[in-house]
Amino acid sequence: MAEPEVLLEVRGTLGVITLNRPRAVNALTALMAEAMLETLTDWAQDPAVDQVLVRGAGERGLCAGGDIVAIHRDIASGGTQTAGFWATEYRLNSLINAYPKPYIAYMDGLVLGGGVGISAHGSHRLVTTRTRSGMPETTIGFVPDVGGTYLLSRAPGQSGTHAALTGEHLGAAEVLYLGLADHLIDFNRAEELFSALEQTPVADLLPGFILPAPASQLESWRPWLDAAYGHDEVEDIVAALAVLADAGNEEARMSVATLAKKSPTALKLTLASLRRARELATLEEALEQEYRVGLRALASRDFPEGIRAQVIDKDYAPAWNPATLAEVDRELVEASFASLGERELKLNPRVPSDTTTTGGRT
């Protein structure tokens, strides 16, 4: 028999969730999201569970994102399963954000897309020197979701805009600087930490495991990132980066080259999403906005084409339509944020009773 996609157990007073699809770098499926949502809801009320640990099976990472192969299959068949998956996943993200007990996310290895959603909203977010994290959605013609627009719109200066548009995989230093994680620990001591967590509160243990935060390139790049990415039109951002590149800024030159490969429509939707998310008061509002944009993307040309190029045919040569930023319909971008009517997600913001002594992020 096939092993369960997610393993759920209580060890001492520690609830342990292990994503268990190591061959797929623990990519999230609808069943996994449902199991996590149900279990975390139960554990929140269970006096036998004091804190929760989320980790990934295997050595490759916590979670490489949502199962985009399943999403491609659903789009091709005209199905509605993806909308249901996202609705469950976003409710899970909301629950994690306001969880009433310490929620410890072990962000080792790959932590991308949906993996960020089940980790970066937690109360104790731990990265290692092997961490490679980010929101690479523009690469597949999509837009950062799972609360990614909320998180990155609140990163220092325009560093989150750079991370969202380029979709780059980032190391521990950058993840910490962006505010997607709290502490760096040694992956060689992870099992020691997990064992101790079975009986000891995470707040008592962590000081003995935390390593000094490494220097962040994004922080050193802050002046030119803020200048280039502070514009509200993608064309203006690219033009500003090109000027910097012509002046000898190699990182800006690489950014121009990276952005040229992304879906023009996804770039415009991502920037608009970030700017709007910056003005939203709660994570739930951002998730509701991401749901609107996401459902419109399911009916787009670029999203299934991006998945095809990256993981189905693996030719890495998507045919974006439209192919240039100038051709992207401004009205289409605006329409992506319009109400879904009866299909609205309608999340209820949850405020934990005491985030300072339990868990949860505000």
Q: What is the mean pLDDT of residues 307-311?
A: 96
Residue from 5, 67, 108, 145 carrying the catalytic annotation: 145
Which residue's structure tokens are 């998945």?
307
Distance CA 141, CA 218 (A): 24
Of all residues in the chain, what percent carry a pLDDT higher than 70?
96
pLDDT at 351 over 60: no
| Each residue's pLDDT tens digit, 42-76 | 999 999 999 999 999 999 999 999 999 999 999 99
Q: Using CA of residue 320, residue 326, residue 327, residue 331, what is the dihedral sign?
A: positive
354 is catalytic: no
pLDDT score of 355: 40
226 is catalytic: no
pLDDT score of 362: 45
145 is catalytic: yes
pLDDT score of 358: 46
Cβ–Cβ < 8 Å for 164, 64: no
pLDDT score of 2: 77
Name the phi and psi angles at 27, rounded to 5. -55, 135
3-state secondary structure of 54: strand
Confidence of residue 194 (pLDDT cuts 50, 70, 90): very high
DSSP 8-state symbol, 42: H
CA angle 201, 205, 211 (to 5 degrees): 145
pTM for this predicted structure? 0.95
pLDDT score of 349: 64
Question: What does DSSP say about strands 14-19 and 124-127: parallel, antiparallel, or unpaired?
Answer: unpaired
| Each residue's pLDDT tens digit, 144-182 | 999 999 999 999 999 999 999 999 999 999 999 999 999
3-state secondary structure of 17: strand
Residue from 56, 109, 113, 114 carrying the catalytic annotation: 114
What are the CA-CA distances from residue 91 to residues 181, 205, 283, 291 (Å)?
Answer: 21, 30, 11, 11
pLDDT score of 357: 38
User: Across the strands, what pairs with 105?
Assistant: 54, 125
What average pLDDT is seen over the chain? 95
Which residue's structure tokens are 């962000």?
107
Residue from 56, 66, 147, 171 carrying the catalytic annotation: 66
- Enumerate helices (H) and strands (E) in the chain, giving the number of each: 17, 10
Tokens of residue 279, six digits: 């003005």
pLDDT score of 269: 98
Other Cβ atoms less than 10 A from the Cβ of 197: the count is 25
66 is catalytic: yes
Cβ–Cβ < 8 Å for 26, 70: no
Q: What is the mean pLDDT of residues 337-349?
A: 92
Residue from 5, 74, 108, 137 carrying the catalytic annotation: 137
Q: What is the mean pLDDT of residues 10-18?
A: 98
Other Cβ atoms less than 10 A from the Cβ of 295: the count is 18
Confidence of residue 352 (pLDDT cuts 50, 70, 90): very low
| Each residue's pLDDT tens digit, 235-268 | 999 999 999 999 999 999 999 999 999 999 999 9
